[in-house]
Structure 1
Amino acid sequence: MGWLWAIIVGFVLGLIAKLILPGKQHSPLWLITIFGIIGGIVGNALANAFGIGETPGIDWGRHILQIVAAVVIVGLGDMAYMSLRARKQKA
Structure 2
Amino acid sequence: MEISGVISALVIGIIIGVLGRLVVPGRQHIGILWTIVVGIAAALLGSAIAAGFGVANTKGPDWIEWFIQIALAAVGVAALDRARFRR
User: Do these two structures clear the TM 0.5 threshold for a shared fold by scoring above it?
Assistant: yes
Of structures 1 and 2, the one with the larger relative CO (CA 8 A, separation 6+) is 2
Q: Which runs of 5+ in 2 are unaligned?
A: none
Q: Of the two, which has the highest radius of gyration?
A: 1
Equivalent-residue separation in structure 1 for 2:22 and 2:52 (angstroms): 27
Moved over 4 A (4+): none
Equivalent-residue separation in structure 2 for 1:75 and 1:51 (angstroms): 28
Q: Identify the residue that residue 6 of structure 1 maps to in structure 2.
A: 9
> Number of matched residues?
84
Counterpart AA for 1:40: A
Q: Identify the residue that residue 40 of structure 1 maps to in structure 2.
A: 43
Equivalent-residue separation in structure 2 for 1:7 and 1:81 (angstroms): 24
Q: TM-score, normalised by structure 1?
A: 0.84
What RMSD, in angstroms, separates the aligned Cα atoms of the two structures? 1.2
Counterpart AA for 1:76: A
Q: Identify the residue that residue 56 of structure 1 maps to in structure 2.
A: 59
Equivalent-residue separation in structure 1 for 2:85 and 2:44 (angstroms): 24
Q: Which one of 18, 22, 41 corresponds to residue 21 of structure 2?
A: 18
Equivalent-residue separation in structure 2 for 1:65 and 1:13 (angstroms): 10
